[in-house]
Amino acid sequence: MTQNLNLDKGYWLERNPNIEFENVTKAYFGDYLLKAKLNIMGASIRMYDMQSLMRKRKITKFNYNVYFDFLCDHFSRYGKRIDKITSNRYITVSYDPEFRVPSFAHFDGFPKRYDARLLYRLHNMFKNPLPSTKMCRQGDFIYLYSNSYDDIEYVIASLGVNDRAIASIGSPQEANLQHLQEGKEINMKAKKYSYKVFLKTIGRKDMDDLLNYLTAMENAGEVEVPQHCRDILEATKDKWFVDFYRPYFYVKEESMLIMIKLLAQDRYSSATPLVMPENDK
């Protein structure tokens, strides 16, 4: 794969004067050093109910019209009222105050307009992603990861995203590039800790032994466990929280990794070496 890591800030500012530039401090998914954040209204809408809708209406072939009907059905299920449909593409919705919704649901900033054709292209791209890129969604944001700005631009153009929707572009500083290519993470925690240990969100459920060990080591100043990781290990959070926040913690000594692997079993994922930024050493 050819890497194109040269960031032309002037080019991106011309496309969106409000774009933000992010300093990449790790290789995403162990490989990608470039990142783009896109603001796409409705990106959080997933396709859990699509198959049931198709069976209900005896539809055997998926196409844009089926997807458009799915969106309309989705809004009616989740407390939104369709105010207007424009050219069988744009759907303007508002919150229906008489609809009983879960306590965790948030309905602010209505009315909102959704571009059904953009969301349809996004759905298809998740099903058939570009091999050299990785796509993730978080709320109404899409994150693109790659090692080439050409690939990032290709995805943006294929989706037909407005330039103003390109919220941020991330790239590594040249001084830290070698560290990232070696699989290390640039992190100020490196002043005290040597590794950032990641756990998987699925697998063994009883994590009391690991939690007790980490608590003892934290009291001794040998590890640091963020609160979200402790909550997940204590199983005090719902599944959506576990999916949203990947559990991790920091350790001082490499020798501790053997015990952590033993206690975590199939929940152990990886350990990333930490280094200070070159200009802060």
- Per-residue pLDDT tens over the stretch 60-70: 788 998 899 88
- For tokens 């063994």, the residue is 204
- Predicted local confidence at residue 239, as pLDDT: 59
- Predicted local confidence at residue 144, as pLDDT: 97
> What is the model's pTM?
0.83
Q: Which residues pair with 134 in a beta bridge?
A: 145
- Predicted local confidence at residue 80, as pLDDT: 81
- Predicted local confidence at residue 243, as pLDDT: 58
- Predicted local confidence at residue 202, as pLDDT: 79
- Predicted local confidence at residue 61, as pLDDT: 84
Query: Is residue 15 classed exposed, middle or buried when 0-12, 13-18 and 19+ CB atoms within 10 A define those classes?
Result: middle
**For residues 54 and 70, what is the distance between their CA atoms, to the nearest angstrom?**
9
Residue 57 contacts by C-beta under 8 Å, 6 or more apart in sequence? Answer: 69
**For residues 69 and 227, what is the distance between their CA atoms, to the nearest angstrom?**
41
- Predicted local confidence at residue 2, as pLDDT: 47
Tokens matching residue 23: 């300093």
Helices (H), 189-269: 208-219, 227-233, 239-244, 256-264
- Tell me which residues of the chain have a pLDDT lower than 50: 1-2, 102-105
Run of H or E including 195 = strand 195-199
Residue 130 contacts by C-beta under 8 Å, 6 or more apart in sequence? Answer: 151, 154, 155
**For residues 193 and 253, what is the distance between their CA atoms, to the nearest angstrom?**
8
SS3 content of the chain, % helix, strand, coil (to 5): 40, 25, 40
